Amino acid sequence: MNPTPVLTIFVASIFTNNILLASFLGLCSFIVVSNRIETAIGLGVAVTFVMVFTTAINYGVYYYILVPFHLDFLSYIVFIAVIAAFVQFLEMFIERFSPTLYYALGIFLPLITVNCAILGAVLFMVIRKYNFIQTVGFGFGSGLGWALAILLMAGLRKKMGYSNIPEALKGPGIILIVTGVIAMTFIGFTGILNLQ
Amino acid sequence: MSIVSIGELVERARDFEGRLERYYAELRDKTPNNGVRLLTYYLSRHRRHLEEVMKGFENEVLERIFNVRLKYDVNFNPEEKFHIIKKPIDEIKGNELLEAACAYDEELVDLYKSILDQPIGEEARAFVEGLKRLEEKDIVMMKKMIAMDYF
Amino acid sequence: MITGLLAVGVNLGIFLALSIWLLISERILVRYGKCTITINDGSLILEKEGGITLLTALYESKVFIPSACGGKATCGYCKVNVVKGGGPILPTEVPFMSRGELRSGTRLACQIKLKEDIEITLPEDLLAVKEYRARVSLVKDLTHDIKEINLDLIDPPEIKHRPGQYVQIQAPGPEGTVFRAYSISSPDYIKDKIQLIVRLVPGGIASTYLHNLKEGDEVLFTGPFGEFRLSENPDTAVLCIGGGSGMAPMASIIDSIYNKWPDRTCFLFFGCRTTDDVFYLDKFKKMAEEHPNFKVYYALSDPLKEDEDWDGETGFIHLSVDKYLPENLDLQTFLCGPPPMIEAVKEVLKNKGYNPDEAFYDKF
């Protein structure tokens, strides 16, 4: 078992070990959807939601089904299936209760299925041997961290609309550079605490 | 001639429509054909299309839209489409005039379509879509007028 | 071997469990159950299985609101006013709405998914709209390119329409059925048949279809549409001005008027290009003899050919209006024709002291 307190895991996964800025996971939807603050918030919320529940469900599946049968080599395919099913469920759920968000997220909602940050978080949970409480804290923190990163980016991109960007760097080019800069500033947080 | 930004496009379209308006005014004075004269009043409204769409946007937004640069240049050659402008004025017939106005609108629609194919951002998209829809409506209207054969 | 079987079994089990979970949540989340659609404060209440669009629900219940694009949010015709329910307005609808419409809760019926009870208001007329099946009983050539088409109604057997209204004919086109509006030219007291006046438009899908119809062919149409209401006051004079092919609604109006009020004052101004385009003139001249308060003026805008004989007016129709329309009448005006003609006529009306904004004209 991992001895780190859950609060530490939670805070660390938002700031020092931000899944996007430290591990660079989930970049594709980050680049595409960060053009507007409203959609960025929407996707951030959706990712947080999916992250908490998929890590929790996959924790159960992994430790109560796969491990007892010594089938942990199946973990990748099972994790992906669980994530896919959950995103399907979420899609129906959002369509039912917030059509505006549903239309705003458009094709990006199904894209969460293949968002590597989600699978990444699940795999980290296994590698770092978190218990259930830690897993939920980690999933929640990572989701919030991802949402924070995309929100920062959306805000910056709004400002960047007015700036004179070299022709060759327009679009994803400048976004990757800016992401790198944000990531470096986040390294400043590592002095506070660090996760292994 | 090619165009590189939306502002420039609007400028060019406005220029040409100013020219058209002067042409219509001349036509109105000189044509022996009453149908053509009646039409010129209607057709010289075209300039207002741009203003009508622009009214729906705030100045600040419009400024941003006009600064949007196109990724690929588009061609805009209204003079070629509106070829009867070169014809002697007293030979022009009502339906010819309508057909020319229609061809000009179709040129505009094609132009807007090629702009909409490019990444230009949502605000500019809404603006160009608005223009396109207005011209398409205008085309339908004029086609009906041609079919009525009244002028 | 055992591990392999176990792996397959566990995998199968997990996938099966996930599928069942999804199916159950679809049951709960996507099935919306019965939703009630309340129209115009309960003058019509529909009960529908949720999950479909409002437009589909209305069409299934034979409420025909205008729609041309088939629910793709590209035509913007299917506007309804939503009083309660229906969720927030979607980004796909916003481009079709004016600011006033955004405030008043106008929505596109094709973009509202039925998920809850909903209350809407529709123009009362639209509730009377039905789909009709009719048989062609007579096709008559009026001019070289205009035909009069008479349709006997089969199902429903009667139509209740006001003079000046139109129907939407369904014409088979190369890319599926198209709907085209044609004014009814028969008067309101004839209920078991309708008459249309159709000008052949070169390349026009619907007019070509209608011109090729033979006696005995069946036609489908929906209607009646149109907001014109003839004034019921017999002292109000009626002014009909048409140009090009705007005859149909006015023929209906005039016929209806003189069936009910034989002494009512009515003016008909009709403009066309040449003597070849003139039709119904004899019929109206005969009517004018029977009803002395009916005045009819036809004007030709093209110069006469040398051997032609014409005792009517010449020039564009607004000139004739200027010449013959008296001032200071209590007047109801119906205009039908291309926009430049309508504008010219409105100018004339204004100069004669009438309010041109009160005139009714076909949305072209």
- Are A117 and A25 within 8 A, CB to CB? yes
Homologous superfamily (CATH) of C34-126 is Beta-grasp domain (3.10.20.30)
What gap in Å lies between CA A130 and CA A2, rounded to an integer? 6
Other beta carbons within 10 angstroms of residue A193's beta carbon come to: 15
DSSP for A123-143, written as a single string = HHHHHTT--HHHHHHHHHHHH
Rounded to a whole number, what is the distance in Å from the CA of C314 to chain A's nearest CA? 59
Chain centre distance of CA A117? 4
pLDDT in tens, B60-114: 888 888 888 877 777 777 777 676 667 777 777 888 888 888 888 888 888 888 8
Residue bearing the bigger pLDDT, C62 or C150: C150
Nearest residue to B150 (alpha-carbon basis) of C280, C320, C312, C315: C315
Q: Which residues of B touch A104 (CB under 8 A)?
A: none
User: What's B103's domain CATH number?
Assistant: 1.20.1260.10
Judged by CB atoms within 8 Å, which residues 185-224 of C form the interface with B? 199, 201-202, 204
Calculate mean pLDDT across residues C24-51.
83
* B39 at C interface, C-beta within 8 A: yes
Residue at token pair 């409203």: A38
pLDDT at position B18 = 83
pLDDT in tens, A117-140: 899 999 998 998 899 999 999 999
pTM for this model (two decimals): 0.61
Nearest-CA residue of chain B relative to C340? B42
Domain count of chain B?
1
Contact check, Cβ <8 Å, A161/B122? no
Rounded to a whole number, what is the distance in Å from the CA of A103 to chain B's nearest CA? 15
- Are C73 and C98 within 8 A, CB to CB? no
Parallel, antiparallel, or unpaired: how do β-strands C218-225 and C166-173 relate?
antiparallel
Rounded to a whole number, what is the distance in Å from the CA of B130 to chain A's nearest CA? 21
Q: Which residues of B touch C316 (CB under 8 A)?
A: 34-35, 38
Residue C320, helix vs strand vs coil: helix
Nearest-CA residue of chain B relative to C303? B33
Alpha helices in chain A (DSSP H): 6-14, 27-33, 37-61, 75-97, 99-105, 108-111, 116-127, 132-160, 172-187
Contact check, Cβ <8 Å, B150/C315? no
Contact check, Cβ <8 Å, A161/B64? yes
Contact check, Cβ <8 Å, B122/A36? yes
Q: How far is CA C271 from CA A75, B147, C349, in A?
A: 82, 15, 16
DSSP label at A65?
A: I
pLDDT at position C137 = 92
What gap in Å lies between CA A11 and CA A189, rounded to an integer? 11
pLDDT at position A179 = 92
ipTM given for this complex: 0.72
Judged by CB atoms within 8 Å, which residues 75-134 of C form the interface with B? 95
Nearest to A85 among C10, C22, C90 (CB): C22
Identify the domain containing residue B60 by its residue range.
Answer: 2-148
Calculate mean pLDDT across residues C8-35.
85
What gap in Å lies between CA A94 and CA A102, rounded to an integer? 6
Is the domain defined by C128-225 classed in CATH 1.20.1250.20? no
Residues B34, B40, B42: CA angle, nearest 5 degrees: 115
What gap in Å lies between CA C125 and CA C130, rounded to an integer? 11
- Strands (E) across chain C are located at 34-39, 44-49, 79-84, 106-108, 118-121, 130-141, 146-155, 166-173, 176-183, 193-199, 218-225, 237-243, 266-272, 294-300, 313-314, 331-336, 360-361
* CATH number for the domain whose boundaries are C237-361: 3.40.50.80
pLDDT averaged over every residue in chain C: 86
Calculate mean pLDDT across residues B43-48.
78
